[in-house]
Structure 1
Amino acid sequence: MAIENLHNFLHDYFSAHHCTLSSDSDGVLHVQLTEEMDRALMNRPFYWHYIKKIGQPGQPMELTFITNHSKRDNKGEWIHFGSPRLQQITSHLKQNEQHTKLFQKMTNEQKTALFPWLVINMKISYRGKQKRDEMVSIGLQLINGAMQLDMMETLKNIPLQTTISDYCYTISPIIKPKSGYYRIEKVLEGYIHEQSHDWADDSIKTMNEEISLLKHFYRTDDGDRDKEMNKEIEEIKNRYDPYITFEPINGGLIYLAQ
């Protein structure tokens, strides 16, 4: 997925956790953490224990994240798919905020119907000779089945809250969330099917070459040697045999006006 999508993911993540984004341009994001996010990401338990013990408010850290490859040598933290920091962030989401239920904030005084959307943020992992991850955000309207990609981009411009506004009411889903999730998986399968899979072909080629080379060195009728060879072949297959997995990072039901 394009670097801009990773950048937007980070922007949305820190904004949703009430961090101040002092600067955001050209793949460089300056973030002032809150105390909660400092505790979650910066591994400073002794600092916070000491600060609270002496009765001081403490100073959460300010970070600079770089997603633009051409600026990776700038002062800041280079973050990319597969980087430890991104894995830490997705783990934090999975552990603490995997499911949510939100309503569009409405200020009018007319009866307004809110329609249910199933929103899933999914990580697609490509594994083989090379490893790659991408984040995909999809929304499925649970009344008419309409589907929207980059759903988090749309939600960024819609005020949301945990309680329903006055004069609003919800429409009950026609499509059950479980069925909706399967629909999203089918769309992702189609998305993957349409991609070029040269990476997988290259991985299989390398795997077969290494297995052939290994067999060349194990030309023997010794049963014990065959057992050892088969073990090494299995290790090669585990390393190179290509596969793709989906992993939901988080999601929820979002009720939106038509």
Structure 2
Amino acid sequence: MSMSQQQVQEHMMTYLESTECRIIEKSPWHVTVKLSPQADKQLTNRPYYWGFVERTGVEPETLSFTFVFDPEQYDKKEQLNASQQPQQDSILSRYFGTAPMVPQIGPGRIQREDVVYGSSRLQQIWNAARQEGSCLYLFEQPAALQRETLFSAAYEPWLGICYKVEMACDVKKEELHFVGISLVTGRIVSPFPERLRGLALSPRLPENIHIQPASISLPQAASLLEGYMTRLLAEMDYGWAEQARERLNEELAVIDIYYEDLLKEPDEEKLAAIREQYSNRRSETTWQYEPKVHLSVITCGLFHLRSIR
């Protein structure tokens, strides 16, 4: 799984906006922000500072960052801006030279970080988002006309689960599958974001609506979705697994040939050590090349959507 620079920027901006960070400057290649207290706690690893703030009740001073999504373009822009700045021209500079730029330190300092796919900061943001949004409870917001009408609208509860499928051998591939199931009818929709596209969702319960009673419990719905994913995995092409096993057999054959003469060691003590090393090498190689499929849940949510029946 990989992400483009645009996708990384969208993920970053979604996090910054949802945590109410203040945008200072923004371009297609970067964003400069002053973190909100929530984002500062999640990203800056300052537990002692925030413990002091909570004990004393002082006004917190959050950090500021420049997150760069395209380092090459951003550096070009910075170099161009630096070349256009007027040179120092004073009596002191004529006699003593140009004063060097002093780096800014302290609360007003703005730190730069390159945020690209695979960077530790992006992973940290994903972990924070996963912790804060591991389970959602949202309602579709109705149009203004619905709030004024006489009859309430019927809302249908849906369970949505985002699964991650990891296919690993000596190489690794990941896929995301977001599927949903109606707790009223049992209908499964995949990909579930298609059902949510264009809808305004909020944790606030809307006016003039009623929730249809569920005929399927949450454990039953989760079991049905798990069965759906199991069938989906069974229908996938596993040619990559067969190729991985072929590479595994080749690697094991190389190990067997290497240790063939060593295992004829007459000294029992040395032979025991060689056998242990031989077994460990085979186990490590098998673990590395043996094809594996792992299914895990990233996030889930209960979505109350207007019934379309």
Task: Report the TM-score range of the alignment, normalised by the length of the smaller protein.
Answer: 0.7 to 0.9
Question: 5+ unaligned residues in a row in structure 1: which ranges?
Answer: none
Correspondence 1:220-231 to 2 at 5 A: 220-221=263-264, 224=272, 225-231=274-280
Residues 74 and 187 (structure 1), Cα distance of their counterparts in 2 relative to 1, 3 Å cut: farther
Q: 1:233 aligns with which of 279, 282, 285?
A: 282
1:104-126: per-residue Cα shift (whole Å, max 9, x none)?
Answer: 23341331111101111222222
TM superposition shift of 1:156: 6.6
Q: What SS does the aligned partner of 1:125 have? A: strand
Q: 2:181 aligns with which of 126, 140, 145?
A: 140
Q: 1:77 aligns with which of 108, 111, 115?
A: 115
Structure 2 residue identity aligned to 1:135:
L
Residues 146 and 213 (structure 1), Cα distance of their counterparts in 2 relative to 1, 3 Å cut: closer
TM-score w.r.t. the length of structure 2 is 0.65
Deviates most, 2-11 or 237-246? 2-11
Correspondence 1:102-117 to 2 at 5 A: 102-106=138-142, 107=144, 108-109=147-148, 110-117=151-158
Separation in 2, partners of 1:159, 1:78:
29
Residues 96 and 85 (structure 1), Cα distance of their counterparts in 2 relative to 1, 3 Å cut: same
8 Å CA contact 2:160–2:192 kept in 1: the answer is: no
TM superposition shift of 1:47: 5.7
2:3 corresponds to: 3
TM superposition shift of 1:50: 7.3
Q: 2:164 aligns with which of 113, 123, 126?
A: 123
Q: 1:250 aligns with which of 294, 299, 304?
A: 299
TM superposition shift of 1:212: 0.9
1:207 corresponds to: 248
Residues 153 and 255 (structure 1), Cα distance of their counterparts in 2 relative to 1, 3 Å cut: closer
Q: Percent identity?
A: 19
1:99 corresponds to: 135
TM superposition shift of 1:254: 1.2
Separation in 2, partners of 1:48, 1:72:
31
1:160 corresponds to: 202
1:107-162: per-residue Cα shift (whole Å, max 9, x none)?
Answer: 4133111110111122222221112333332222222214141528836741312x
Separation in 2, partners of 1:256, 1:11:
26
Structure 1 residue identity aligned to 2:298:
I
TM-score w.r.t. the length of structure 1 is 0.76
Residues 130 and 215 (structure 1), Cα distance of their counterparts in 2 relative to 1, 3 Å cut: same
Structure 2 residue identity aligned to 1:3:
M
Residues 203 and 65 (structure 1), Cα distance of their counterparts in 2 relative to 1, 3 Å cut: farther
The number of equivalent residue pairs is: 249
8 Å CA contact 2:2–2:117 kept in 1: the answer is: no
Deviates most, 6-15 or 223-232? 6-15
Structure 2 residue identity aligned to 1:39:
K
Structure 1 residue identity aligned to 2:162:
N
Separation in 2, partners of 1:93, 1:77:
16
2:67 corresponds to: 64
Which structure would you say has the larger RCO, counting Cα contacts within 8 Å and 6 or more residues apart?
A: 1
2:38 corresponds to: 36
Question: Which of the two has greater strand per residue?
Answer: 1
